[in-house]
Amino acid sequence: MEDIVKLSIKELSGKLDKKELSSKEVVSAYFEVIDKKEKDVGAFLDIYKEESLKAAESFDSKNGKRKSVFDGVPVAIKDNMNITGKKTTCASKILENYTAPYNATVVEKLKNVGAIIVGKTNLDEFAMGSSCENSALKVTKNPRDLSTVPGGSSGGSAAVVAADMVPVSLGSDTGGSIRQPASFCGVVGFKPTYGRISRYGLVAFASSLDQIGPFGRTVEDAAYLYEIVSGRDSHDSTSADLDPDSVVSTLNDSIKGKTVGVIKELMGEGIDKDVQKELQDAIKVYEKLGANIKEVSLPSFKHALAAYYIIATAEASSNLARYDGVKYGFREKADELLDMYKETRDKGFGAEVKRRIILGTYVLSSGYYDAFYLKAQKVRNLIRQNYDEAFETCDVLLSVTSPTKAFKFGEKMADPLAMYLSDIATIPVNLGGNPAVSFPSKPIEKDLPVGIQLAGKLFDEKSILNFANVYERNLG
Amino acid sequence: MDIKKEDIEKLAHLSRLALTEDEITMYTEQLGDIVNYAQSINELDLKDVPPMTHPMVPENVWREDELKECNLKEGLLKNAPERDDGFFVVPRMIDES
């Protein structure tokens, strides 16, 4: 008997087209996994079981052509994206009982093509974190090894795919929050170019860095989901004036004679030895596949982390000012307005969120703006210049995704800086606005997985997904 | 650049956070560490580098100035911690002077 939950999106879609499988069978099969594993993994903050089964039955009762590859297929989304009438908590006490009054554009698109959203996944509070340990509501464990973290901030969305609870999911990525958990959980995670996917209905953390992106077990599955949710949106003025992207048809293009640049600043010091080894092996794979390998230097990367934690926290301090107990969310009762603001926010926000708000306020405050924020914006420009220069001679840029494998719970909680260093390889991508994908260095085995990262030119999602797919197919 | 307790207290007021004594102590130390790390960008010569405010060239996105339907009012009011018909109710504001 075939294992329904092991089918790729393409295979699943084919069987649904031919009515060899019903949506009810598919959704039920995935809920069987959820029922069995969720109590150990704890990836979901909200599950819509009855509605999902009803939606599946409704799909099955219809005749005619399916609306898309995802018609009748279950998906999950990170709980910082709105679904009308459902809770959007951002894993925070301050939004624990907030009900969204409108759909995020990505949700609207998924519903329009018939995808069945089965639930919302756990995250670091307000998407701030690299382990999912900052969730105020729940602990999520890495399905590969339950004593380790799934990564963050989209830890839940990575875990549900790694545990076969859904075939694909959506996360968000501001400094690596899709790619790093993908690396830790051994799945594919992809952040497109800034502006490819609408941010309307995504709770803002850092508006010039945030992007939504897909998780899948394979590059192809993630690519299919990306195609559906990409495209200009009149509700999001920062969305690029481009049609939904087409990347699946070029996944198997030859990469012979193309150039892979290996980023010097992301090798050696600061990267664990066993992670380094995976990168060296990956370079050999690309050599075998006929690509040219060259080492490239992007010197501004040494200052990327500093620039990121200035810019992202500055933007966060501004974006989170709206959580004041007035119009929605948690309110701490007080006799006077200013006290209400202060008590509400101190009690409603967790430690990491407060830390970043305070830091962001500091770097924007009078006397420090020029020393920090303005300088960080200039570093951002240097990063853009370095990327542009590297891409003059390279088609894609290769590095590790994270300096370490998934770490144990509590291991990095004592020192915020140690946690921030998890993101050294992913952050430059967000600062530049470039697309990047993380995929497992090899097929899953007993060891904890390691993610390999490919970054691409602005709006060249085609190339990085092509290179990632060819690698994956080559390893079987 | 040393971060002192008074700095954190001032920032807490600006960002509307009623930090406890323990929190002030903790954030004073942690912010000091992070700011020290962030200082590394002062090593760079950034004199002739223009700041990048946004990853994409910021151009305004225009639409026709026409009235459109927006039926969100009840959905928005539903989340109010305290409401009076179409109004959000909040505690009174006392002038600090």
Alpha helices in A323-437 (DSSP H): 337-348, 351-364, 375-393, 416-420, 427-432
**How would residue B97 be classed by pLDDT, with cut points 50, 70 and 90?**
low
Q: What is the pLDDT of residues A249-289, one digit of tens each?
A: 999 999 999 999 999 999 988 999 999 999 999 999 999 99
For residue B54, the model assigns a pLDDT of 87
Mean pLDDT value across residues A73-85:
98
- Is A444 a residue whose pLDDT tops 90? no
Whole-Å CA distances, A400 to A128, A159, A245, A267, A451:
21, 20, 26, 8, 6
Out of B8, B53, B90, name the one closest to residue A358 (CB): B8
Alpha helices in A324-350 (DSSP H): 337-348
Residue of A87, A200, A378 to mutate, interface with B, max B Cβ within 10 Å: A378
Q: What is the pLDDT of residues A364-407, one digit of tens each?
A: 998 899 989 999 999 999 999 999 999 999 999 999 999 999 99
For residue A1, the model assigns a pLDDT of 44
Q: What is the pLDDT of residues A151-201, one digit of tens each?
A: 999 999 999 999 999 999 999 999 999 999 999 999 999 999 999 999 999
> CB–CB of A349 and B17 under 8 A?
yes
Short-list A179, A225, A202, CA closest to A73: A225
Average pLDDT value over all residues in chain A: 96
> CB–CB of A345 and B55 under 8 A?
no
Residue of B28, B90, B95, B97 to mutate, interface with A, max A Cβ within 10 Å: B90
Q: What is the pLDDT of residues B38-52, one digit of tens each?
A: 988 988 889 999 999
Phi, psi of A286 (to 5 degrees): -65, -35
Q: What is the pLDDT of residues B59-68, one digit of tens each?
A: 788 889 999 8
> CB–CB of A358 and B44 under 8 A?
no
Q: What percent of chain A has pLDDT over 90?
A: 95
Cβ atoms < 10 Å from Cβ of A342: 22
pTM for this one?
0.97
- Work out the angle at residue A458's Cα, subtended by the Cα atoms of residues A454 and A461, and round it to the nearest 5 degrees: 55
Least confident span in A223-227, A317-321, B57-61: B57-61
Out of B61, B80, B91, name the one closest to residue A335 (CB): B91
Q: Report the sign of the C-alpha dihedral through residues A219, A225, A228, A233, in that order.
A: negative
Q: Which positions in chain B touch A358 (Cβ < 8 Å)?
A: 8, 11-12, 15, 17, 27, 31
> CB–CB of A336 and B78 under 8 A?
no
Tokens matching residue A66: 């399916």
